[in-house]
Amino acid sequence: MSDFTSNARFDRSEAEPFEVGTVQWTRRPGEGDREALASGFWFITPEETPGPMRVVGHADETVYIIEGHLRIEPENGDAFELIAGSVATFNKDTAALWTVLAPTVEFFVYS
């Protein structure tokens, strides 16, 4: 495995289109010979979403909410809300409904 380092500053102008919303990658999938590891800032507004979105995690994921408000309703668990300062973690293949309740900035790590 090769040495790899990355650093970035939260900068909306660096964001690019994502599945929904935009993302500023701090580590793209595959960088540093680690296909499953990635991280970045996700920017999303309620206007960019089709209402509640069914999301099935394609990797283990940990999220930290920098600003905003999300509601997460796991198919096999209790619903919860995330606001600035909240952290949540999900196993790969976890299915949930995600609702963006306010413009949100999330830092995420896929592993």
Per-residue pLDDT reduced to its tens digit, 28-59: 998 988 888 999 999 999 999 978 999 999 99
For residue 81, pLDDT beyond 90: yes
> How many CB atoms are located within 10 Å of the residue 34 CB?
14
What's at 5, amino acid-wise?
T
b or e along 89-101 (b: 16 or more beta carbons within 10 Å of the residue's beta carbon)? ebeeebebebbbe
Report the chain's mean pLDDT, rounded to a whole number. Answer: 94
So what's the pLDDT on residue 2? 66
Q: Does the pLDDT value for residue 7 go beyond 90? A: no
Angle at 14 between CA 9 and CA 18, to 5 degrees: 115
How many of the other CB atoms lie within 10 Å of CB of 35? Answer: 10
Residue with tokens 């010979």: 33
